[in-house]
Amino acid sequence: MIKEFQPVKEGVAFLVKEWLPILSSLSEDDITIKKNSQNRSVKQILGHLIDSVSNNTHRVIHLQYQESPISFPNYASNGNNDRWIAIQNYQGECWPNMLELWKHMNLHYIHIIDCIDPTKLNQQWYYSGGKLISLKEMVIDYLRHLELHINEIRKLMEQT
């Protein structure tokens, strides 16, 4: 186990445990009405978080066996994450299924970061505009990204 990842693991586990019942209790109107500055509903924000954990899972795996630096398809910029949300139609997805997927994908992510080969932590990938980020930096940043979007959901809930 990599000690720098312990706060990430604990933080992700806490957010899933804390937010699953909150998200489960929301009404259909609460989760589908588009409200935020990016015109995303709670369902679409959660869909983005599902995409995020999915992409990060693949990156963790690829960064441990491919030659560094790695180029992945550009998911997060140039509106691509909005394309992912639209193509998958998270707005029309079954909410309980989304919640279970988000929960279990994050629990699996906790597991896979526990399995990372410490000798691979400096493997890098091009993440945006030709900038490089290491496997270690990416894993540590995941919690910040998850918290950012959970806070977006929190703000939308306060507006309801």
Walk along the chain (160 residues) and give the pLDDT tens digit of each residue.
899 999 999 999 999 999 999 999 999 999 998 688 888 999 999 999 999 999 999 999 999 999 999 988 777 666 688 889 999 999 999 999 999 999 999 999 999 999 999 999 999 999 877 899 999 999 999 999 999 999 999 999 988 5
The predicted model scores a pTM of: 0.94
Grouping H, G, I as helix, E, B as strand and the rest as coil, residue 53 is helix
CATH superfamily membership of 3-159: dinb family like domain (1.20.120.450)
Q: Measured between alpha carbons, how far is 160 from 155 in angstroms, rounded to an integer? A: 9
Q: Please give the backbone phi and psi of residue 100, each rounded to the nearest 5 degrees, phi first.
A: -65, -40
CA distances, 54 to each of 22, 50, 92, 95 (Å): 22, 6, 19, 18
